[in-house]
Amino acid sequence: MPMEEEFDYTPDLITLEDEKGVEHQCEVIDAADYNGERYLAVVPYAEDPEKMLEEDAQLVIMRVVQDGDEEFLDIVEDDEELAAVSEVFAARLEELYDIEL
C-alpha cells in the first residue's frame, strides 16, 4: 500500500480593515510586480477549505504602498490599472493552479 504524502499548508493571512472599521481576514494567494509596483491577490479566508470551495470567493487585488518605513495596502481604483494587473494575475493563477479563467 503506497504511503500518502502529507501536505502541510500554512496560509499567508493578513487582516484588512474596511472603510467602516470592520476587520476581515484574507489569504494572500499570489503576489506580482507590474510597472514597478507590487500587488497582492487576496481572497476572504475560510478555515475550512471545503467551505471555501463551496462559496464563490471574490479575488481582491491590492497595491503595496511604501510610506517611509511602513508598508500598507491600497485598493486599485483605476480601471485600466486594475484590468492590466488582473490579466497578470489571471495568467499566473492559470499556471500555478492549472485552471482556466
Q: What is the pLDDT of residues 16-30, one digit of tens each?
A: 988 899 999 999 989
Q: Which whole-number Å values give the CA distances from 87 to 25, 32, 35, 36, 53, in the listed order?
A: 25, 11, 13, 16, 23
Confidence at residue 100, expressed as pLDDT on a 0 to 100 scale: 63
pTM: 0.76
Confidence of residue 63 (pLDDT cuts 50, 70, 90): very high
DSSP at 99: -
Per-residue pLDDT at 88 exceeds 90:
yes
Element (H, E) at 73: strand 70-75
pLDDT, mean over the chain: 84
DSSP, residue by residue, 1-64? -PPPPP------EEEEE-TTS-EEEEEEEEEEEETTEEEEEEEE--SSHHHHHHS-PPPEEEEE
Question: Among 2-11, 74-83, 89-98, whose mean pLDDT is lowest?
Answer: 2-11
